[in-house]
C-alpha cells in the first residue's frame, strides 16, 4: 500500500488535517509552517499524528542543531538533517541528542531540484552509513539516485519528495525503492486536499503493481 507524508508547508484547516491523518503515513512540517503559525499552533494542528517529521534541513554545528530541535519542545518524532555536514562536531552529536529524546534522525543525501549536484552523493552516503540514521531522504525526480540510496541502505526507511509539483509522478519514488513519498503542493493547493491525496495513492498503487525493482 503506497505510503505518503503530507508536506504541510502552509496551514490547512484542523478538520482537513485530521482527515488527511487517516490517509497518510505522516506529516512533514518545517520552517514555512512554523513561521506562519508558530510552534504552539503547529503542535495543535499535528496532534495525534503518528509520524511528525520536522524538516528543518539542519546543516550546522552540533550545538546549533541540538538547540534548534530543543526549541521545538518535543514537537518532532523525526528530524531531517543534511548528511553533508558530516559527523564529528555535527551529526554524531545530533544523533546522540535525538536518541536520548527518542526522536528519529533522517539524513538527506540528495535533493529533488535540478540544480542539486549529485557528485556529492557517494560522500553523503558514506556519512550516512557511519551515522546510521533511522532513514534517508532522496529525490523521486531522479529515480536512479533513489535506486542507489536503496542499494546502499537495503533496510532503512527512505522518504522521497518531488512528486507532483516538481514533476515526478505518484509511485515514481516508490518504484525506485522509497518507502514513503512526500507531497506538498499537489495536496495543500487542491480545493479538496483529502481527495487529492486519495487520487495520488490510487495512481501510485497502479504504478506499483506494474513497476519492477525494489518497491516495498
Ligand atoms: P512539493 O510537493 O510542494 O514540491 O513539496 C515537497 C516538499 O519536500 C517541500 O516541503 C520541500 O521543502 C521538501 N523537499 C523537496 O522538495 N526536495 C528535497 O530534496 C527535500 C525536501 O525536503
pLDDT digits (tens, 9 = 90+) for 76-96: 999 999 999 999 999 999 999
Which residues form ligand 1's pocket by a CB distance below 6 Å?
7, 9, 30, 55, 111-112, 137, 139, 161-162, 164-166, 182-186
pLDDT bin (cut points 50, 70, 90) of residue 32 is: very high
Query: How many folded domains does the chain comprise?
Result: 1
Cell readout for 166 is 516538481
Residue at 80 is within a domain: yes
- Note whether 106 and 128 are within 8 A (CB): no
Residue at 29 is within a domain: yes
Provide mean pLDDT across the span 176-194.
98
Q: Looking at residue 214, what is its pLDDT?
A: 47
User: pLDDT at residue 15 above 80?
Assistant: yes
Q: Looking at residue 1, what is its pLDDT?
A: 75
Provide mean pLDDT across the span 155-175.
98
User: pLDDT at residue 216 above 60?
Assistant: no
Classify residue 126 by burial, with Cβ atoms within 10 Å: 0-12, 13-18, 19+.
Answer: middle
Task: Answer yes or no: 57 catalytic.
Answer: yes
- How far is CA 139 from each of CA 15, 70, 75, 98, 180, rounded to the nearest angstrom? 30, 28, 25, 24, 11
User: pLDDT at residue 173 above 80?
Assistant: yes
| Ligand 1 centroid, distance to 138 Cα (angstroms) | 10
| Ligand 1 centroid, distance to 183 Cα (angstroms) | 7
Residue at 215 is within a domain: no
Catalytic residue among 28, 57, 95, 207: 57
Rg of the chain taking only CA atoms, in angstroms: 16
Query: Distance (Å, rounded) from C-alpha 16 to C-alpha 42?
Result: 14
User: pLDDT at residue 215 above 60?
Assistant: no
User: pLDDT at residue 151 above 70?
Assistant: yes
Chain centroid, CA 10 distance in Å: 16
* Ligand 1 atom closest to the CA of 116, numbered from 1: 19
Residue at 162 is within a domain: yes
- Note whether 128 and 153 are within 8 A (CB): yes
| Residue 127's CATH number | 3.20.20.70
Residue at 178 is within a domain: yes
Q: Looking at residue 96, what is its pLDDT?
A: 98
Residue at 183 is within a domain: yes
Residue at 152 is within a domain: yes
- How far is CA 60 from each of CA 27, 34, 209, rounded to the nearest angstrom? 24, 19, 41
pLDDT tens column, 39-79: 999 999 999 999 999 999 999 999 999 999 999 999 999 99
Residue 11 gets the label, from left (phi > 0), alpha (psi -120 to 50) or beta, of beta
Q: Looking at residue 212, what is its pLDDT?
A: 58
Q: Average model confidence (pLDDT) for the chain?
A: 96
User: pLDDT at residue 33 above 60?
Assistant: yes
pLDDT tens column, 114-135: 999 999 999 999 999 999 999 9
Domain of residue 135 covers: 3-210
Residue at 86 is within a domain: yes
Amino acid at each position: 500500500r503506497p505510503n505518503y507524508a503530507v508536506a504541510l508547508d502552509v496551514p490547512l484547516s484542523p478538520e482537513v488535517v485530521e482527515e488527511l491523518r487517516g490517509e497518510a503515513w505522516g506529516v512533514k512540517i518545517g520552517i514555512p509552517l512554523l513561521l506562519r503559525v508558530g510552534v504552539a499552533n503547529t503542535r495543535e494542528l499535528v496532534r495525534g499524528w503518528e509520524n511528525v517529521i520536522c524538516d528543518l534541513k539542519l546543516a550546522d554545528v552540533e550545538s546549533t542543531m541540538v538547540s534548534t530541535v530543543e526549541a521545538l519542545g518535543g514537537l518532532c518524532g523525526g528530524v531531517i538533517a543534511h548528511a553533508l555536514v558530516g559527523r564529528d562536531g555535527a551529526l554524531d552529536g545530533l544523533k546522540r541528542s535525538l536518541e536520548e529524546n527518542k526522536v528519529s534522525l533522517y539524513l538527506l543525501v540528495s535533493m529533488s531540484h535540478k540544480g542539486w549536484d549529485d557528485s556529492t552523493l557517494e560522500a553523503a552516503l558514506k556519512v550516512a552509513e557511519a551515522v546510521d540514521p533511522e532513514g534517508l531522504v532522496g529525490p523521486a525526480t531522479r529515480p536512479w539516485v533513489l535506486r542507489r540510496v536503496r542499494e546502499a541502505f537495503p533496510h532503512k526507511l527512505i522518504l522521497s519528495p518531488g512528486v507532483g509539483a516538481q514533476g515526478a509522478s505518484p509511485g515514481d519514488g516508490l518504484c525506485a525503492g522509497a518507502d514513503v513519498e512526500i507531497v506538498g503542493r499537489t495536496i495543500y493547493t487542491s480545493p479538496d486536499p483529502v481527495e487529492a491525496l486519495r487520487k495520488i495513492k490510487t495512481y501510485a498503487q497502479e504504478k506499483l503493481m506494474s513497476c519492477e525493482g525494489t518497491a516495498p
